[in-house]
Structure 1
Amino acid sequence: MHEAGGILLDLFVIYAVARLAGELFERAGQPAVIGELLAGAVIGPYGLGLIGTPNRSLIEVFHGDPNAAQEALDLVYGLISELGVVVLLFTVGLETRLDQAVRVGGRALLVATAGVLAPFALGFGLIEFLGHPRAESLFIGAAMVATSVGITARVLRDLHATATREARIILGAAVIDDILGLMVLAIVVGLAATGQISVTEIGLIVVQAVGFTVLVVLIGVGAIRRLDLHLDRLRVENAPLAVALITMLGLAALASRIGLAAIVGAFLAGMVFAESRQQHKLHEETRPIYQFLAPFFFVITGSHVDWRVFLDGSIIGLALVITVLAILGKVVGCGLPVIGLGWRSVAIIGVGMAPRGEVGLIIASVGRSLEAVSDAMFSVVVVMSVLTTLLAPPVLRVLLVSRRAGAKAPGAATP
């Protein structure tokens, strides 16, 4: 079983390097996800070649066919990566209470909606204008949509700013943003599969995505409230966690079977269990699972970055343009609905919604797995995700400190 040993060695290298890179970036005040992505690019087949290529034993299993061995290794990587992102989206859903989406109010709804439409229109419009395939344009637009609000929340918490008006709008809009972003992904996956865009097709996909979401949430929330009464009576060890993971995998598989992304089902499963009395316990019990599996997704995702594409000046230029549009799309889209709050609030909310982090990468990875996104465009999305994630925290910190200083100035209005 030397071939299994080779794969296990790859997994050892991936996880060890992921944790080391994450630690270094955390110490530098940056999100661990950036370190994991860059580590993947360094140790991947386009970098040092420490992972991602089949060893001799694995090739021999496939009768000396290196292409078949590579496909098998890619399948293993893909399954582990998919499981990592499914667990990741489940934990995000587990932190998303249904009542939060109801209570955030009209202003947060407008911020979230405009913050989805503006970046999508800019990304889709640019790539379409440059003559890329329609499916690729759709995925690039979708990758620019969703916000990785966890990064923003960390800055708000560190500066004790979570109770501010801007923070409430950001965090409220982020709940809706997550749902809208996953709906956009579901629509884009469906359109990419058909290869064409029609009003009827869009309508069917929207109905399918909304119908699946509504049915899962309504039936799931009702079921979990009844199930809560019996979970503690089960004799199986960690029964609530087992039921939650079974539901996560089942809904992920069901979403995939009906043409949606598996992560849509995983996210909804998390939202359902967020209504459980066991929510806090489940959050603590799934944390080690997430911490173990998620780094595999980010390192493997980073390993797909082909450094050679950046020898092409046009690719670098496009990556920078996409990054600028990604930031402007959020600042303008999220800022216009709150223009009455003043320019500083507009900037705080816009920049707070700007980090794409892992969310843009997840969407681009789905497109890449469907062969709708090329390696070059995938690398462009990686650059956009990394730059927006790196730039947003320090800019947001400056804006919040400036706002606080302005509020303390003589004669300044109190928010």
Structure 2
Amino acid sequence: MLVLQLALILAASKLAGNISVRLGQPSVLGELLVGIILGPSVLGVIHDTDILKEMSEIGVILLMFIAGLETDLKEFLRSGKSSTLVAVGGILVPLLGGYFLGEALGFSSEQSWFMGLLLSATSVSISVQALKEMDRLKSPEGTAILGAAVLDDILVMIALAFFMSMIGGEVHFGTMLLTKGLFFAGAIFAAWKVVPWILEKLALLKVDQSVLSAALIICFLYAYLADLSGVSAIIGAYMAGVAISVTEFKHEIFEKTETISYSLFVPVFFTSVGVVAHFHGIGESFWLLVILSILAVFTKLIGASWGAKAAGFSWGSSLGIGAAMVSRGEVALILANIGLEHQLVSQELFTVLVVVVLITTIATPPMMKWFFTVGSKGKTLKNTG
């Protein structure tokens, strides 16, 4: 029964989050782990139903929308250099690492390059929560991470389109590039002219919570159109938040959206990440899982950290930024499904990759906590331009 599942998820996630904080870790780590305990892999009291999937998707969209609302647009634009270096470094090192691992395992050249592309993906939805808890979301490091996440999503999906067109896949590179370009052009224009107008007009309606409803409409439309154009829905939601962040309604929308999100949808999202984990039969591919997990964590950590260091951050902050980029999340799962459909990934490897994505997600919050604690003792970047 859905209402019972929701009661269990909310109770367990809040208790686990509290325990995690008391142990000196971000609460999101406890919420991720309790999902595994409640899910089919351990207790089996919560199952990955379609309704929970939809609620989880709303949760991650709202989480990134809130991150956008908290973004300082001027600081975000000034962080272009650091974001670019972090994104490029965080793509190149995993790309090459995945390719050479594929070659060592006897994969074809196409399969090896696809493995590299998959490991290049990043999803910072988990990192956003860890940054919020450490009060670093608005810091130069947090801004660089968010900017790098947007660039990473764009570059990896463009690279995927180019790769699929080269091997005769269904994706047409030129069409995808045009579609993405149109989305970003339209999203920026709407943020400039349409979003403020919509909020001002709907604020005049004589109904309850008209401003909040208008903001959620904008958020969901941005997310939908981003997904439709091949850009991650969470990037669209983040852009919607940034668009609203420069309006007079920012604080009202932020407070009310945060209340809705963290009371229901966001806990469901964090817990569901663990619920969807399935470890049955993974023992047969144990060493492949270990090797891929180590490669996934360290290539992204090293690549993004080098980029951050080149941009002028201290080593502690650079490693914290690199750690924030480690989680592959839903972006890598999308790529893994594409690989399975085109026989670039075997069923056995697909199962391993799903667990690797989970491991990178669970590893991200404590790594961020550790490196940013170390980084706070050193000198952080003051000018990210």
Identify the TM-score tier after normalising by the shorter chain: 0.7 to 0.9
Map of 2:383 onto structure 1: none
Map of 2:185 onto structure 1: 214
Identity %: 23
Aligned-partner Cα distance in 2 for 1:126–1:289: 45
Task: List 4+ stretches of structure 1 deviating above 6 A.
Answer: 144-147, 191-195
Aligned-partner Cα distance in 2 for 1:135–1:105: 28
Instruction: Tell me, yes or no, if structure 1 residue 139 matches structure 2 residue 118.
Output: yes
Radius of gyration: which is bigger? 1
Cα deviation digits, residues 79-123 of structure 1 (max 9, x gap): 1221211212222222234333323364x2453343433344245
Aligned-partner Cα distance in 2 for 1:115–1:146: 20
Instruction: State which drifts further: 123-132 or 28-37.
Output: 123-132
Match for residue 95 of structure 1 among 70, 81, 85: 70
Change beyond 3 A, Cα 1:196–1:92: farther
Cα deviation digits, residues 35-79 of structure 1 (max 9, x gap): 111111112112111111xxxxxxxxxxxxxxxxxxxx6322321
Aligned-partner Cα distance in 1 for 2:49–2:200: 43
Find the residue that maps to 1:30 and give its secondary structure.
coil
Cα deviation digits, residues 112-169 of structure 1 (max 9, x gap): 34343334424543554343576554333213889935535654769xxx8xxxx63x
Map of 2:265 onto structure 1: 293
Contact in 2 for aligned 1:322/1:384 (Cα 8 Å): yes
Contact in 1 for aligned 2:119/2:296 (Cα 8 Å): no
Aligned-partner Cα distance in 1 for 2:75–2:149: 12
Change beyond 3 A, Cα 1:264–1:30: same
Contact in 1 for aligned 2:58/2:265 (Cα 8 Å): yes
Find the residue that maps to 2:328 and give its secondary structure.
helix
Change beyond 3 A, Cα 1:185–1:176: same
Aligned-partner Cα distance in 2 for 1:290–1:188: 33
Change beyond 3 A, Cα 1:306–1:228: closer
Instruction: Tell me, yes or no, if structure 1 residue 82 matches structure 2 residue 82.
Output: no
Map of 1:304 onto structure 2: 276
Instruction: Tell me, yes or no, if structure 1 residue 332 matches structure 2 residue 306.
Output: yes
Matched positions, count? 363
Contact in 1 for aligned 2:327/2:357 (Cα 8 Å): no
Aligned-partner Cα distance in 2 for 1:317–1:186: 25
Map of 2:95 onto structure 1: 121
Cα deviation digits, residues 144-201 of structure 1 (max 9, x gap): 889935535654769xxx8xxxx63x24422421321332464477579879479x94
Report the TM-score when normalising by structure 2. 0.80
Change beyond 3 A, Cα 1:250–1:395: closer
Change beyond 3 A, Cα 1:185–1:18: farther
Find the residue that maps to 1:143 and give its secondary structure.
coil
Change beyond 3 A, Cα 1:329–1:259: closer
Contact in 2 for aligned 1:21/1:39 (Cα 8 Å): yes
**What is the correspondence of 1:175-324 to structure 2 with a 5 Å cutoff?**
175-184=146-155, 186-187=157-158, 196=167, 201-291=172-262, 292-308=264-280, 309=282, 312-324=286-298
Instruction: State which drifts further: 145-154 or 287-296.
Output: 145-154
Aligned-partner Cα distance in 1 for 2:10–2:166: 37
Change beyond 3 A, Cα 1:124–1:147: farther
Q: CA deviation at 1:244?
A: 0.8
Contact in 2 for aligned 1:122/1:329 (Cα 8 Å): no
Instruction: Tell me, yes or no, if structure 1 residue 393 matches structure 2 residue 369.
Output: yes
Change beyond 3 A, Cα 1:76–1:43: same
Cα deviation digits, residues 270-294 of structure 1 (max 9, x gap): 2221222111111111002221201
Contact in 2 for aligned 1:98/1:271 (Cα 8 Å): yes
Aligned-partner Cα distance in 1 for 2:358–2:127: 14
Aligned-partner Cα distance in 2 for 1:391–1:97: 25
Contact in 2 for aligned 1:22/1:36 (Cα 8 Å): yes
Structure 1 residues without counterparts, runs of 5 or longer: 1-5, 53-72, 339-344, 405-415
Match for residue 7 of structure 2 among 1, 7, 12: 12
Matched residue type, 2:10: Y
Contact in 2 for aligned 1:253/1:265 (Cα 8 Å): yes
Cα deviation digits, residues 206-230 of structure 1 (max 9, x gap): 3322331221122232123334543
Contact in 1 for aligned 2:145/2:325 (Cα 8 Å): no
Change beyond 3 A, Cα 1:8–1:186: farther
Q: CA RMSD in A?
A: 3.4
Aligned-partner Cα distance in 1 for 2:55–2:326: 16
Cα deviation digits, residues 318-341 of structure 1 (max 9, x gap): 212322222212222322343xxx
Change beyond 3 A, Cα 1:44–1:153: closer
Map of 1:112 onto structure 2: 86
Instruction: State which drifts further: 321-330 or 394-403.
Output: 394-403
Change beyond 3 A, Cα 1:322–1:359: closer
Instruction: State which drifts further: 148-157 or 246-255.
Output: 148-157
Match for residue 36 of structure 2 among 41, 54, 72: 41
Contact in 2 for aligned 1:189/1:260 (Cα 8 Å): no
Matched residue type, 2:364: T
Find the residue that maps to 1:241 and give its secondary structure.
helix
Contact in 1 for aligned 2:90/2:120 (Cα 8 Å): no
Aligned-partner Cα distance in 2 for 1:336–1:295: 36
